[in-house]
Amino acid sequence: MNVVIFKFNHLGDNVVFVPVVQALRRLHPDWNLTLLTTPGEAALYGGPYAPQRICTYSKHGFDKAYRRPWVLARWLLRVRAAQPDACLISFDQATMAHLIAKHSGARVRVGGNLQHIRVAGSLTTEVALPADACPASWHWEMARALAGALGTQSDWPDTAPAPDLSHLAGPAGGEPPTRRRIVVHAGASRYLNQWPRERFAAVASSLARDHEVVWITHGGTTGEAPAGTLPAPVKTLHELASWIAPSSLFLGNNSGPMHLANALGCPGVVVTGPSAPGWNPYWHRDRWTVLRHPNLACSPCERPNKALEGCANVESPMACLAYWTPERVEVACRSRLLTAQGGNL
């Protein structure tokens, strides 16, 4: 059985998709999986349950390939060469993925349609957003539908397990910590999810008085590491994961690194603004503190089926994030550390 999987997107979107690929490989080792994804995220899919083939391209370049017929033709030929029996198209894929899947020769094409794609007949089975509105659940239900369409649904587990990312959590981040380590990632791919860097810095410097605080410098993080913290310039997922995995706490925005930390089993505190609740940490929920404004009428304003382009709160812009002072976030971090240590500080 040959299956082509479309997943061009950013880090967090891929982290919550990894269990699908790993489950397909584990339950159906005789299937040949070809994964199409972005270069920076391809490393997520390594390890013992890696797909047989991974093809990478930038999300923007792939999504806009219809403007360059020669690129579209190359991708169509590449996918058809895999002779797919089935295609799995993640709900966040754009027109290109649906167009290529439709003309791939695959008789089974399963996926979601978050972006209201208007390629008629691109999906033979469309999976609706599940009741919990979690992307991880939606991916899992799509994979279940794929297994059912190929006659193996009875083998599919009820819920998505945390992905096995042990292949990423090696020693690239230096020696194991000698005292409790806190990793701070102050970046986010969208400014609407970005708690101010100076507030992260204030929390990090205060926590550094009695903890090892590592300040990750990649992605949306800007400026130098604040006083008392250990700067960690990372360039690869392996480096990022190896800093996070042995740590006692992760502090960050609702972002790709947050989802990576959650998948690795690291306890955490996440400062959340407009993000939909479905993007809360999906696994190990008892280890995480999600900071949301307790009673803001407009929050959360993000919806699974509508892109968020700006803050609609004219009277108090970004009140959902402004509510969280450094003092409140530090209290949440110390409380989470106390819980993780069984009350022993």
From 90, 76, 75, select the one nearest 15 (Cα to Cα). Answer: 90
The predicted pLDDT at position 77 comes to: 97
How large is the average pLDDT for residues 277-284?
94
Q: How far is CA 212 from CA 39, 98, 174, 340, in A?
A: 32, 47, 13, 16
Confidence check: pLDDT of 115 > 80? no
**Domain 174-340, what architecture?**
3-Layer(aba) Sandwich (3.40)
Confidence check: pLDDT of 41 > 60? yes
CATH class assigned to 2-155: alpha beta
User: Residues of 36-51 as b/e, b for ≥16 C-beta within 10 angstroms?
Assistant: bbbebbbbbbbbebbb
Confidence check: pLDDT of 303 > 80? no
The predicted pLDDT at position 178 comes to: 65
Q: Which residue has the higher pLDDT, 304 or 114?
A: 114
Percent of the chain with pLDDT over 70: 92
Q: Which residue has the higher pLDDT, 162 or 304?
A: 162
Quick count: other Cβ atoms within 10 Å of Cβ 126?
16
The predicted pLDDT at position 97 comes to: 95
Mean pLDDT lowest for which of 35-44, 264-273, 317-326?
A: 317-326
How large is the average pLDDT for residues 316-329?
90
Mean pLDDT lowest for which of 100-109, 149-158, 193-202, 287-296?
A: 149-158
Structure confidence at residue 275 as a pLDDT band (50, 70, 90): confident
Rounded distance, CA 290 to CA 72, Å? Answer: 42
Structure confidence at residue 295 as a pLDDT band (50, 70, 90): confident
Q: What DSSP assignment string belongs to 108-168?
A: EEEE--TT----TT--SEEPPPPTT--HHHHHHHHHHHHHHHTT-GGG--SSPPPP--TTT
User: Residues of 78-94 as b/e, b for ≥16 C-beta within 10 angstroms?
Assistant: ebeebebbbbbbbbbbb
Structure confidence at residue 345 as a pLDDT band (50, 70, 90): very low
**pLDDT, tens digit, for every residue of 201-238?**
999 999 999 999 999 987 655 568 999 999 999 989 99
Domain residue ranges in the chain: 2-155, 174-340
Per the CB < 8 A criterion, the answer to whether 119 and 95 are in contact is yes
The predicted pLDDT at position 155 comes to: 77
Confidence check: pLDDT of 154 > 80? no
Rounded distance, CA 329 to CA 195, Å? Answer: 11
Structure confidence at residue 138 as a pLDDT band (50, 70, 90): very high
Query: What's the whole-model pTM score?
Result: 0.93
From 65, 69, 80, 48, select the one nearest 8 (Cα to Cα). Answer: 65
The predicted pLDDT at position 298 comes to: 79
Average confidence score pLDDT of the chain: 90
Confidence check: pLDDT of 177 > 50? yes
The predicted pLDDT at position 199 comes to: 95
Q: Which residue has the higher pLDDT, 69 or 153?
A: 69
The predicted pLDDT at position 172 comes to: 56
Equal fold, 2-155 vs 174-340: yes
The predicted pLDDT at position 296 comes to: 83
